[in-house]
């Protein structure tokens, strides 16, 4: 899975759909008809807008739209793509090296 040209998650198709790990992947899948919860007749959306390619935010590119944003962390450096469950990799500060 990519966001603004950066890999944010690596997994097989089955793993990605059954157990998304990155906040972008999770948010994207809940906004797809048939996979997300419909409240008040509307599918959930990802808050904010995709930044312009020439004005990407510092740190994690997804942090301005992320429900798990950690000030001083997500907006300062780019997270590494780390193994999170033995089969999938995610680029997110929610995970520490080798843990999920």
Digit-coded pLDDT (tens) for 4-33: 999 999 999 999 999 999 999 999 998 877
pLDDT for 99 beyond 70: no
Domain extents for the chain? 1-32+56-100
pLDDT average, residue stretch 65-84:
95
Q: Could you tell me how far CA 83 lies from the centroid of its own chain?
A: 15
Q: What whole-number distance in Å separates Cα of residue 65 and Cα of residue 35?
A: 20
Q: Three-state DSSP class for 9?
A: strand
pTM, rounded to two decimals: 0.86
What are the pLDDT digits (tens) for 82-98? 999 889 999 999 997 54
């Amino acid at each position: 899975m990519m966001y603004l040209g950066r890999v944010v998650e690596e997994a097989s198709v089955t793993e990605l759909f059954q157990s998304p790990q990155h906040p972008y992947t999770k948010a994207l899948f809940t906004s797809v008809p048939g996979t997300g919860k419909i409240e008040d007749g509307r599918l959930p959306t990802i808050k904010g807008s995709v930044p312009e390619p020439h004005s990407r935010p510092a740190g994690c590119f997804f942090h301005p739209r992320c429900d798990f944003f950690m000030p001083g962390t997500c907006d300062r450096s780019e997270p590494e793509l780390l193994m999170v469950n033995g089969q999938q990799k995610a680029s997110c500060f929610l995970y520490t090296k080798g843990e999920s």
